[in-house]
Structure 1
């Protein structure tokens, strides 16, 4: 999978559930591309020497970690907003 394909898939996913980039001092498309580059590199690294099932498990673990990290960040943001209000 290449970066362009990932960008297209990401855009499709974001059309239903957009990421909120407001307030960040970064270009949203640059951040998207950086994320896609990172995922493409992970996939390429594991493609070479591992069977498909192992690659799938690594990707599932990676997605799980990202979801967990997102949940923690959202919880911290909610706590900060609650403390301010």
Structure 2
């Protein structure tokens, strides 16, 4: 079954119920931002599927991409905490990514 952007956007919104994203006062709407992100990811997925890479290479690509995103998120979160004068506990920040 091929998932559509609408399907993926809905699933992303459901995931956010368990771990909400703090959009703060950003100058764009949450649904629009979800749709933009999922559209870009679906396009990337389609390109990867047609690239001739093996399934293992596609999985490694996804793992590395996820690693970069987690690292960027961790750094941004740590910077925000430091700007707020709070202590940074890297292990605590990584807990949300740990297998449950």
Q: TM-score band (shorter)?
A: 0.7 to 0.9
* TM-score normalised by L of structure 2: 0.74
- What does the per-residue CA deviation read over 1:42-84, in whole Å, with 9 as the maximum and x for residues that have no partner? 111110022222211111111111111100110111111118x
Q: 1:18 Cα shift?
A: 0.9
Question: Tell me, which stretches of 5 or more residues in structure 1 are unaligned?
Answer: none
Higher relative contact order (CA 8 A, sep 6+): 1
Between the two proteins, the alignment pairs up a number of residues equal to: 83
Which protein has the bigger helix share? 1
CA RMSD of aligned residues (A): 1.6
* TM-score normalised by L of structure 1: 0.85
Question: Tell me, which stretches of 5 or more residues in structure 2 are unaligned?
Answer: 87-100
**Whole-angstrom distance in 1 between the partners of 2:4 and 2:28:** 23
Q: Which 4+ residue blocks in structure 1 deviate beyond 4 angstroms?
A: none
Task: From 32, 35, 38, give the equivalent of 2:34.
Answer: 32
Which residue of 1 is the match for residue 5 of structure 2? Answer: 3
